[in-house]
Amino acid sequence: MSNMSAMKKRLLKTLAESISEQVDLFNTAEVECLIHDYNVLLGEPTPPGKGVPGLDRAKFRSILHNTFGISDDLMMDRVFRTFDRDNDSSVSTKEWIAGLSIFLRGSLDDKIKCNFRVYDLNDDTFVSIEEVYHMLKNCLPGLPTKEERDEGVKDLVEITFKRMDRDHDGKMSLPDFEQSVKEENLLLEAFGTCLPNFKVITIQIFLKNTNILIK
């Protein structure tokens, strides 16, 4: 092994150990694998002076669609926001692995908080009936006329929102959402699919043949 290869392996292991100390749902070996996967997905690094290095919105959306089965434009953009913790319009290695830890291994409580952030479109810590309507406005494509679709969506939104606004203050808080989901788990994605839609992911596209289970 060349000195350069040995140095790269040491740097990778050091980075993996550092991240695994902060993201406790993956062990160091899994983090090493995911760092390699991230670099494969990233492709050509961002040249100096050409922006923040990392997965940009377009690459991230492609992964959500092709790997995790999330296809709604609004949901993909909102999931990108939850991964991009420092709001620099790019998902770094650490942000990618931290986000995947919730995506693939997170507890119900973790996923409730993650989904609530996705659904809180204006980031004001509440979900309004207007936000719910915006997320569900295209959810009844089978009705024949626009008027019927609009009326059907309005009725659905009002029924769902009334059920989940537990304190009846006209806005849904995280505790409202949490209580509703814990009583009926199907409400976790009531306003749009923003979690992987299968139970086991084999990371073939990441070239490591590593099975990462979704709890």
Q: Are residues 11 and 106 in the same domain?
A: yes
Same domain, 127 and 105: no
Q: Are residues 74 and 126 in the same domain?
A: no
Q: Is residue 202 very low, low, confident or very high in pLDDT (cuts 50, 70, 90)?
A: very low
Both 84 and 153 in one domain: the answer is no
- Number of domains comprising the chain: 2
Residue 115 zone, left/alpha/beta (φ > 0; ψ -120 to 50; rest): alpha
> Taking the model in full, what pTM does it have?
0.84
DSSP one-letter string for 12-61: HHHHHHHHHHH-TTS-HHHHHHHHHHHHHHH-SPPPTTSS-SSB-HHHHH
Q: Is residue 81 part of a domain?
A: yes
Cα separation, 61 vs 78, in Å, equals 10
pLDDT band at 140 (very low <50, low <70, confident <90, very high): confident
Q: Both tokens of residue 74? A: 């609004």
Q: Residue 179 falls within a domain, yes or no? A: yes
Give the model confidence (pLDDT) of 64-120 as tens digits.
998 888 999 999 999 999 999 999 999 999 999 999 999 989 999 999 999 999 999
Q: 132 with 161: CB under 8 angstroms?
A: yes
Same domain, 97 and 182: no
Q: Are residues 22 and 123 in the same domain?
A: no
- Owning domain of residue 64: 7-44+54-110+196-213
Whole-number pLDDT of residue 138: 83
* Length of the chain in terms of residues written: 215
Express each pLDDT in 10-33 by its tens digit: 888 899 999 999 998 999 999 999
Domain presence at residue 59: yes
Residues 124, 69, single domain; the answer is no
Whether 169 and 205 share a structural domain? no
Same domain assignment for residues 164 and 73: no
Look up the CATH number of the domain holding residue 156. 1.10.238.10
Query: Phi-psi region for residue 123, left (φ > 0), alpha (ψ -120 to 50) or beta?
Result: left
